[in-house]
Chains A and B, each alone.
Chain A
Amino acid sequence: MEAIILQILNGLDKGSAYALIALGLTLIFGTLGVVNFAHGAIFMIGAFVAVTLNRVLNLSFSVIDETRTDFLGNPMQVQVPYVEHWFGTQTGAAIIDWSVPLAIIVAIPIMALIGIAMERGLIKHFYKRPHADQILVTFGLAIVLQEIIKAFYGANPIPTPAPDAFVGSFDLGQIFGFEPFAIMYPYWRLVYFAFAAVVIGAVFAFLQFTTFGMVVRAGMADRETVGILGIDIDKRFTTMFAIAAIVAGLAGVMYTPILSPNYHMGMDFLVLSFVVVVVGGMGSLGGAVAAGFLLGVLQSFASMSQVIDLIPGINQVIIYLVAIIVLLTRPRGLMGRKGVMED
């Protein structure tokens, strides 16, 4: 029992990332009808926003500390971050410590800008072209973005720590009456899951309860009629693209303590997120989220040693197997709507 709960929990953080990326992907499918292969790159850029902020906050200047001496007896040079100098040692250290959550604030405008620039600058010109062209041009864009990041940050993963308050694990099982230390769960993963839940909830609430969201949903259902009613649906869809970019970017920012960012993490997650979208059903937001969590949990179940002993290698292929079975038995995906991306 404990083992099963632990695997479900382990699947949640990966599932959250899949769900967030897939949510953005399917938003773009549903509104603009574009297959965006560059969406993984946006996730990756989000992670590197956190890395950059961490580096910027750690910018230091050296002062000579008269009270301490090095082994030669000379006064020692100490690196003092500017932030600590400006805000005082305590506040400054706290700011540096909380750089990853702080990166959310920085990331939102950056990702929105990137999203709008991508949509207006490139993808806008591909609405009328075949899907193959859309796939190809966004694939090219993904390569370019990935290589730019590689040129600036190098090929190695860059560890970016979570705030000290969230380092380590806590005993989740004891709260629910299990044996002590049976279910240990890292704090940050729980934070990530909660964060994902909040973001997903916010996107759904935005679409469900605002006039803007209503127009967008109407546009997803029947674009032409909304246009005839005199609403500039293209502008709204551009905004939705920006929102999708923000969601993917934030997923990347918060994922940095779990997985040290490297330049190809976007591609790695993109393939899986596509599978998630397809399993969930093209154009179905609920389906994308549900399939994201489902596949995340399934993957972590398949990584259990008992399961691997039974079927070797299952942990590597489970997601693809599920996708193939779902596509063959339910061609529209688990919750796919009729008429969306049928061809």
Chain B
Amino acid sequence: MLGLNKADLRLYLIVLGMLIFAPFIMNPFPEGSGLAQFNGGYPDLLQKLVIFGIFAVGFNILFGLTGYLSFGHAAFLGVGSYAGVWMMKLLTMNVVPALIISVLTAGLLSVIIGYVSLRRSGIYFSILTLAFAQMCYSLAYSVLTPITGGETGLTLSLNDPRVLGTSQTAEGNIPVPHFFGLEMNASSTLELGAWSFTFNTGYYFCAVVMAVAFYFAIRLFRSPFGLMLRAVKSNQARMSYTGLNARPYTLAAFVISGMYAGLAGGLMVAMDPLAGAERMIWTASGEVVLMAILGGVGTLIGPILGAGVIKYLESIISTINSTILHQWFAFLPDGLEDFVVAIIYPFVGKGWHLTLGIVFMLVVIFLPGGIVEGGKRIGNLFRRKRREETPPSSTTTPAPKPGE
């Protein structure tokens, strides 16, 4: 079905199900209970999860398939955001043209950057993309201030010359981004006993885009083109001996992943119409690398998981403060309570980046395949146990290899 094999179809349906039921899945704790702060089902976070998921999926097309580690992907996201806001300022508040222009602008920029950077590989490529992204960042902050809004960022205003549509609503407010009339910030709430679930139009719009983008990524992974990209990763020299030029393929992969980043930037704008240069700083590029690595590079589902875990933990952990910690450990004796809180405190709240850095290092050191590989290892562990539990029926069972 849909041109996918059985395993891929199952994966795709799982992702679809997760997207549709995310407002339920992310809200497992009843409102008002002590665990309610672990709920991630509010629209703002859900949108972020999906948008960064798209960003990471796109990044994975480049890094996971070709092995080229780009350290400048946030530039495309930032440029996509700027293009989207300008489209809303000048043309219409409908998000479709904004998204299209975001993707196209990011694609154009990635053609230029990719054409130059892909002449080198390895760390040179990483440093070149880093240099380009930093250049875009510095330019956005300085010379391009009339276009980018500089430090304040680019926002809508009450007197934007919008060609299709009004520059302000009847009440004198800035109009809201919409999809053919469906307003992005509209939400409806469902009360079920102690639980309350919020369904947000913007989130479901993102989810639809994600579904399309993820489907495209699966098809790309399984296509002959995807196979070529893997060939680039495994042995570029051998590939060129067979008479194939790797550069068109890598450039195509670079541009596609740049367009995914632009799409993510456009979606950010569609949810909240503002753009700032801080989206392009190189630590933001590093963040998408973290997402891909944490989830599992080169796997389909990995980047989505990585983006989800990082963004969820970010929003949960950074809200924990010392008062909450004291509440949690109130059952301990006084001195011990202060001691435990003092140990944990640097890692939560503002210390979220410290936790992130440590987790990231641990993953790179011990689990280079990320969450997906971790899951596989645990799965193998259970499978082996089950095999050991079944009594050996005959002597044909191979002797366990040493070290196993």
**Measuring CB to CB, which residues of chain A are less than 8 angstroms from any residue of chain B?**
35, 122, 125, 129, 131-133, 135-137, 139-144, 146-148, 151, 267, 271, 274-275, 278, 312-313, 316-317, 320-321, 323-324, 327-328, 331, 341, 343
Stretch at the interface among B94-102, B114-122, B198-206: B114-122
What is the minimal beta-carbon distance from A313 to any residue of chain B, in angstroms? 3
B22 at the interface (CB under 8 A from A): no
Give bound CA distance, A275 to B364, whole Å: 25
CB atoms of A132 and B69 under 8 A apart: yes
B24 proximal to A (CB < 8 A): no
Judged by a CB distance under 8 angstroms, whether B222 is at the interface is no
In the bound complex, do residue A137 and residue B116 qualify as a contact, i.e. CB atoms below 8 Å apart?
no
Whose C-beta in chain B lies nearest to the C-beta of A274? Answer: B127
Q: Is the CB of A132 within 8 A of B67?
A: yes
The residue from B120, B123, B131 contacting A135, defined by CB atoms under 8 A apart: B123
CB-defined contacts of B126 to chain A, threshold 8 Å: 132, 135
From B358, which residue of chain A is reached at the shortest CB distance?
A: A144
Segment from B132-140, B244-252, B378-386 that makes contact with A: B132-140
Which B residues are in CB contact (< 8 Å) with A323?
A: 127-128, 131
Contact of A278 with B361 in the complex, beta carbons under 8 Å: no
A35 to B126, CA, bound (A): 11
B residues near A, CB below 8 A? 63, 67, 69, 71, 116, 119-124, 126-128, 130-132, 134-135, 138-139, 141-144, 282-283, 286, 289, 293, 346, 351, 353-354, 356-358, 360-361, 364-365, 368
A323 CA to B143 CA in the complex, in Å? Answer: 20
Which chain A positions have C-beta within 8 A of B120? 327, 331
Q: How far is the CA of A327 from the CA of B123 in the complex (A)?
A: 12
How many pairs, one residue from A and one from B, have CB atoms within 8 Å of each other in the complex?
106
A26 to B22, alpha carbons, bound, how many Å?
48
Residue of B nearest to A278 (CB): B127
Interface pair A144/B357, CB less than 8 Å apart:
yes
Set of chain B residues within 8 Å of A327, measured between Cβ atoms: 119-120, 124, 128
A-B contact pairs, 18 of them (CB 8 A): A132-B63, A132-B126, A136-B360, A137-B364, A139-B289, A143-B360, A146-B353, A147-B354, A267-B283, A271-B130, A271-B134, A271-B282, A274-B130, A312-B143, A316-B141, A321-B135, A331-B119, A331-B124
Cα distance A144–B130 in the bound complex, in angstroms: 20
* A140, A275, A327, most chain B CB atoms within 10 A: A140
- Beta-carbon contact of B122 and A341 below 8 Å: yes
Residues of A within 8 A of B356 (CB): 143
- A151-B346 contact given A136-B289, A274-B130, CB 8 Å threshold: yes
Report the Cα distance A278→B361, complex, angstroms.
26
- Expressed in whole angstroms, the Cα–Cα distance for A142 and B122 within the complex equals 20
Q: Which of A143, A320, A328 contacts B357 (CB 8 A)?
A: A143
Question: Which of these, A122, A125, A313, A328, contacts B139 with CB under 8 Å?
Answer: A313
The smallest beta-carbon distance between B340 and chain A, in angstroms, is 17
